[in-house]
Chain A
């Protein structure tokens, strides 16, 4: 076929006509967004809630909470759906146009993306002013974007350091010996030399958000940040490169299980529960799992502390707080808000502190609450004092994917840490 200029003009014209027709059909937007506004729907009916199926509140915890909620509000029925953390973001995105869910579980890194793209509802007017002072600051960031609230925090969270006390004791080490990363390496070498465990350390270094969380902790211990004062990615700084060099060295020294590059947090949790890992960074609910005789061989052997300190004494934990939001397409916003207020209330959160920490400052001073999970409260209390934030940018997912690949390039020895981080910064800056 010969493509004459006349034919090309005709083709472009035809395509433009088709596109224009589609625009008209879909309400002047190819997404049809002008029609997706949702509705209040009254304080009754069935609401669909999307939760994460991983660390934190278990499915049975949420089922029990829903049961008590429905007893208190008999006109509202809650239908929960659980997905793995790795599928949660995309599930929220794909369900948005249909308005499938009335309540969605958010990670701290998503409010800027979802709020700026109009996927979640601004609830600032309903957000009581007292909550801003009675909730932990780190938790509040999980639902905040540009000074507005797009949900309610549902548990602050950070990665804590877990260690097998029994294994450590065999080489004469205690919690004090693993309070710094330098100490962790010394103890790990002893454990390996003594043949207690082949690989003393396991991490969630799979190509996923999990590797960013672990990197954040190490980066923080070197006194680094993800971004500079202008908000641009700054991981090729001395601290950013040193953190990655340290991570790579634990692999080349044979201290980190090479399978860590395929692990998510759940895999690391299982590895320690099976007695194959002596030390790990993981979320608070790991302590519950390690002491559950149904899934753990190391019940009573595991200790927990705030993340180990770096050379300068810094040990910020990664901010992994979560929140509950109402998608803009929800047709039951009033009932959804009633449910969110209930499930995030102090009384309900206090009841499940072995699964997830609570938002409410008051809970941390009540012995009846702290004594129900004393080790984790002690560790988390220290860790929440200083937390390292991942970049709060609208295209965080793209930035994160770039970082995940470049961190793995360095961990696999395919690039030097400096080259990997330089490439990450260059690629992220291209995104604009």
Chain B
């Protein structure tokens, strides 16, 4: 037996065995992944593809049998509509204000939850409750709190002497949008706080000790240690919340249905109304894709800005 043939004899059975093992594992993996693939295809990929197709046609009924191809006509209709741009403006305001407030309040709450308190586990449990409440329930609850006749907010502010008369918080377009933001912030701050808390707990205590030895003040420690070390968490939170806030729909639908005078009609609500209330599915689908492009652009800008930091995870 030559060396070459010996190598061949020794080597040949192994790949066969490996392939068999791989085939077995591959088949198992295939069957395990199949339900997830079907679900993802059915509820994400196919609807996205279908929406893209519908956006290129004039579809004026849920059961339309005649649907002329209009190419990018629906997109041009949307982009030349002042109502669309007004809804984009409101959505940007909602996104910027709610995300900023959630970040600031989330940082404060995360700091408190990270403190060495006696009942810390209990506080951490309580704080998560607003996030656990379904959005639709949260909206109904805040609608009740803001009610002009029996709302808790009016009762509280009147009894504290801050206001003299009950206010209709949702009757003015600008005020109503801010009130919806408040309801959204209340629900989402816990999520942001827990993301930031994870970042805070990862900061080595030695850094604080070294800073204290150098007699650094708390603002300095926050600026030079906490904030830079939190950049990975902040970057994740910013991207997630920006995308979520830009898509805001359910809290608007339940609290104000876009009113008064369209003051709370965000772009997702505008898309819904165009598609389902007006049965203008082609234009509604085009709006959906434009929203997606806006979100992609916003995310790309964030990622580019945050990647400048060496500590960023993104």
Contacts and interface: CB of A to CB of B under 8 A. Distances in A.
Contacts of B173: 412
B278 interface: yes
B66 interface: yes
B67 A30 contact: yes
B168 A276 contact: no
B63 A96 contact: yes
A113 interface: yes
A18 B60 contact: no
A93 interface: yes
Contacts of B49: 22
A428 to B, nearest CB: 13
Contact of A19 (B69, B171, B262, B273): B69
Interface in B56-110: 56-57, 59-67, 69, 71
A137 interface: no
Nearest to A262: B170
A30 B54 contact: yes
B33 to A, nearest CB: 25
Given A19-B53, A117-B279, A408-B261, A257 B148 contact: yes
A117 B277 contact: no
Contacts of A18: 52-53
Contacts of B281: 31
A208 B265 CA distance: 13
Contacts of A271: 149
A94 B150 CA distance: 35
B62 A97 contact: yes
B53 A117 contact: no
A162 B232 CA distance: 61
A398 B278 contact: yes
A80 interface: no
A286 to B, nearest CB: 17
A372 B167 CA distance: 41
Interface residues of A, number: 45
B171 A90 contact: no
A295 B171 CA distance: 25
Interface string B131-156: 00000000000000001111000000
Given A207-B258, A395-B278, A259 B149 contact: yes
B61 A118 contact: yes
Contacts of B171: 258-259, 261-262, 412
A397 interface: yes
A409 B261 contact: yes
Given A15-B56, A412-B172, A90 B277 contact: yes
A34 B67 CA distance: 12
B278 A119 contact: no
B17 interface: no
Interface in B249-305: 256-262, 273, 276-279, 281
A33 B54 contact: no
Interface residues on B, range: 35 or more
A329 B278 CA distance: 20
Contact of B64 (A33, A259, A398): A33
A117 B60 contact: yes
Given A207-B260, A258-B171, A408-B261, A119 B56 contact: no
Given A261-B168, A397-B277, A397-B278, A33 B259 contact: no
B261 to A, nearest CB: 5
B173 to A, nearest CB: 8
Nearest to B146: A262
Nearest to B169: A262
Given A33-B64, A328-B63, A19 B277 contact: no
Given A22-B53, A117-B279, A262-B168, A30 B261 contact: no
A19 B56 contact: yes
Q: What is the predominant secondary structure among interface residues of chain B facing chain A? A: loop
A357 to B, nearest CB: 28
A89 interface: yes
Nearest to B65: A33
Contact of A31 (B62, B149, B256, B278): B62
Nearest to B170: A262
A258 B62 contact: no
B118 interface: no
A328 B148 CA distance: 43
A23 to B, nearest CB: 8
Contacts of A397: 277-279
Contacts of B66: 29
Contacts of B64: 29-31, 33, 117-118
A262 B260 contact: yes
B308 interface: no
Nearest to A32: B63
Nearest to B64: A31
Nearest to A397: B277
A33 to B, nearest CB: 4
A369 interface: no
Contacts of B150: 274
B50 interface: yes
A271 B170 CA distance: 17
Contacts of A258: 148, 168, 171
Contacts of B71: 12
A214 B54 CA distance: 37
B261 A22 contact: no
B259 A31 contact: no
Contacts of A30: 50, 53-54, 57, 59, 64, 67
Interface string A384-421: 00000000000101100100110011001010000000
Nearest to B165: A198
A29 B62 contact: no
A259 B168 contact: yes
Nearest to A119: B63
Nearest to A259: B148
B57 A401 contact: no
A18 B56 CA distance: 11
Nearest to A113: B279
A118 B63 contact: yes
A328 B260 CA distance: 35
Contacts of B63: 31, 33, 36, 96-97, 117-119, 328-329
Interface string A198-227: 000000001110000000000000000000
Contacts of B62: 31, 93-94, 96-97, 117, 119
7 contacts: A117-B60, A207-B256, A207-B260, A259-B148, A259-B149, A261-B259, A395-B278
Given A207-B258, A259-B148, 6 more contacts: A15-B56, A94-B276, A96-B63, A257-B149, A261-B171, A262-B260
Interface of A: 12, 15, 18-19, 22, 29-31, 33-34, 36, 86, 89-90, 93-94, 96-97, 113, 117-119, 206-208, 257-259, 261-262, 271, 274, 276, 328-329, 395, 397-398, 401, 404-405, 408-409, 412, 414
